[in-house]
Amino acid sequence: RSSDLELQNDASKIGVKKFKSIRTQSTEDIEAHTFTKTMLCMDPAGTDNKVKKTEDFFGFLVGSLATNGFKYIRKGKILKLEFEGYMSTAIKLLIEYKDITHIYIEKNTYSGADVSKLKELIALESKLHYRKFEFINEMQHKNKDEKIDTIVSDINNGRLIFNNKDKDFQDQIMDFAGQNFRDRKSVV
């Protein structure tokens, strides 16, 4: 009986949460700032063969640098989508946030095919085809923990300020305890 309890409480299955706090503000307070740069960042769902594409989660983030030196996460979304939904969500965010000038998409999943498709859709959209976007589509060579470690201090010290309406997105961040300890719905 005690060996069953030991297995249930296996310390190797418990990670240490990296994020201790998240600073939030209302949409109104965030949007009252003057922004100098705005980027749409997208983390496409992975291609894990054990998981159907319809069960994968995509991460979307609209982030801006304000004149006060703080970075604001104006919109953070975690969505269960297929490729078409991924593209339509990107288009909707580009229309909604008229000051987006940069689009970052992790290249590992679609090897740039999603960037090509998004460019096609932008060219066809009357509200977007006249805007200039700089695309950043790079392969990630760091592991998830190394990438996350680069933002831990900024989040824990309140230099990145999140929209208080994006609770699911914030919960994903707060729950992150390392790539070996995340649950299947985590995109962080």
pTM: 0.80
Give the tens place of pLDDT for each residue, 22-34. Answer: 999 999 999 999 9
pLDDT of 47: 53
User: Across residues 90-117, what is the average pLDDT?
Assistant: 95
Confidence bin at 105 (pLDDT 50/70/90): very high
**How do strand 71-80 and strand 23-25 relate by DSSP bridges?**
unpaired
pLDDT beyond 80 at 182: no
61-65, 111-115, 117-121, 156-160: lowest mean pLDDT where? 156-160
Examine the pLDDT at 173 and tell me if it is beyond 90: no
User: How far, in Å, CA of 145 to CA of 77, rounded?
Assistant: 20
Mean pLDDT score, 68-96: 95
pLDDT at residue number 3: 46
The DSSP string of 120-183 is HHHHH-TTTTTS--EEE-----S-HHHHHHHHHHHHHTTSEEEETT-HHHHHHHHH---TTT--
**Residues of the chain with pLDDT > 70: what percent?**
78
For range 21-49, the mean pLDDT: 88
User: Mean pLDDT, to the nearest integer, of 41-47?
Assistant: 80
- Label residue 178 by pLDDT band (50, 70, 90): low
Other CB atoms within a 10 A radius of the CB of residue 52 amount to 9
Residue pLDDT, tens place only, 140-168: 777 776 777 777 778 877 889 999 999 99
